[in-house]
Structures are given as structure tokens and as C-alpha cells.
Structure 1
Amino acid sequence: MDIEQLRAYCLSKKAVSEDFPFDETTLCFRVAGKIFAITDMAKERLTVNLKCEPVYALELRERYSEVQPGWHMNKKHWNTVDFEGSLSNQFLKALIDHSYEQVIKTLNRAQRTLLEGESL
């Protein structure tokens, strides 16, 4: 998966925005203002930090060399994933989906209701 495929997939998800809050190369994808994916566009290889359930994060790191503890992130909840390794695009999308859902779980009920398009 390349950067444009990453952008297209993340932005296709409901209520997602992108920004560069830290510098001109660190791209963040957010839902309801909370980051679920972050990458440094200046790096030679595309790696993406994705939020992850802690037990699943450890399982992924043990099973896949492309999945490492989150660089400059809380390593309990974040993985850095090499998007140019041998992981399939389908699996990478599943990891993005998991990260998105992990952030959705942290939203309060009103935020989730708005996100789902329901009235309060």
C-alpha cells in the first residue's frame, strides 16, 4: 500500500479528517478530533502508527516482523506498521479499521451517536 492508497482508504471512513499538526511532513488521520493513524511522509519507507488493543498489539508484534511497538507513542496502545513489507493490503486495511474502531470506542455516547448519523 502506498501513501495515496493509505490516504484514500482512511479518508473513505466516516467523519475522518487529515492534518499536519506537528510539522509539514507528519500526516495525521483523525475521527472526532482523535488520531487513529499517523505517518511521516518524509521517511523513505511508508510506516504508519496505528492504535491497537493491547493484547492484540502484542500478538501482532510476535507474529509479524512488520509490526513493531509504536515509535514515539504509548507502546501499550500503538504499533508502527511497515506498509511496504509483506503484509497484504487487505490485512493493512483491517489494521486501519481496528485502529479506527479503537478510537471510536473512546468517544462518549453523544459523539458516537453523531458519528453514526443518528439524532440525539
Structure 2
Amino acid sequence: MDSIKAKRYLLNKLETIEYFPFGDDVSVFKVKHKMFATLALGKGNEKGTGGKMAGHYCVNLKCDPEEAVMLRDIFSAVIPGYHMNKAQWNTVILDGSIPQGEIERMIDNSYMLVVSKMTKKDQASLLLHL
């Protein structure tokens, strides 16, 4: 999955908006004012990533802590969330090594984890359409 497909998939999630609180080079995706993903181009100088992100778009996704560790064990392109809570976020490097369907599943899970923490009223307005 490339950055264009990832962005399109993220924006197709119900009531998702994109904004740029960290500058023009980092897209933040929110559902009802709650962040569930970021998308940015890796520069290669990201501390603690071993240069893995260099030249690749990367998406940060919320994740169940146990699943986060399993995904990191399975996919070398999944690392602890860069600039995020490392227990609850993963950074997925869009280098072509992970099947598109798996990335879509991770995006869906991130979205639903955020929705599950919303008020019942906010959840109801979204879940009616899912």
C-alpha cells in the first residue's frame, strides 16, 4: 500500500477529518476530534528507528498492546510508535512488505479502538453507519 492509497483509505472512514497540527508534512486523522492515525514521510534520522523509515511513508496506528507486540514480531516494517506511546501505538512503514489487506485491517482496528473509547452518544452516531 502506498501513501495515496493509505490516505484515501483513512479518509474514507466515517466522519474522519485530516488536519496538520505538526506542520504540512504530517497528516493527522481524527474521528470526532480523536486521533486514530498519522501519516508522514520518514526522513531517516528518526531517533531509535535504525533508519528504517528513510524515504518511506509511515502511518502511526493505535493498537491493542498485546497485538502491537505480535505485529512487530511478524512484520519488520512494524515498529513501536514513533513519537507515540510505544505500548499502544505502532508505526507501520509503507515499504511494500505488508499486504494491503493487513494494513487496512490495522487501520480499521485503530479506528475502532478510538471509537470504542468515545461516549455512548458519539459511538451510536458512528456505529449506526458501520
**Does TM-score exceed 0.5, indicating one fold?**
yes
Gaps of 5+ in 1: none
Note closer, same or farther for the CA distance 1:82–1:41 as it changes in structure 2 (3 Å cut). closer
User: In structure 1, the residue corresponding to 2:6 is in which secondary structure?
Assistant: helix
- RMSD, matched Cα: 1.5
CA distance in 1, matches of 2:67, 2:27: 25
CA distance in 1, matches of 2:109, 2:65: 12
State the AA in 1 paired with 2:10: C
Identical-residue share of aligned pairs (%): 37
| Counterpart selection for 1:56 from 50, 58, 67 | 67
State how many pairs are aligned.
118
2:79, 2:92 within 8 Å by CA — same for their partners in 1? yes
Gaps of 5+ in 2: 44-54
What corresponds to 1:46 in structure 2?
57
How far is 1:80 from its partner?
0.5
1:30, 1:37 within 8 Å by CA — same for their partners in 2? yes
State the AA in 1 paired with 2:5: Q
2:42, 2:58 within 8 Å by CA — same for their partners in 1? no
TM-score after normalising by structure 2: 0.84
The answer as to 2:83 corresponding to 1:91 is no
User: In structure 2, the residue corresponding to 1:65 is in which secondary structure?
Assistant: coil
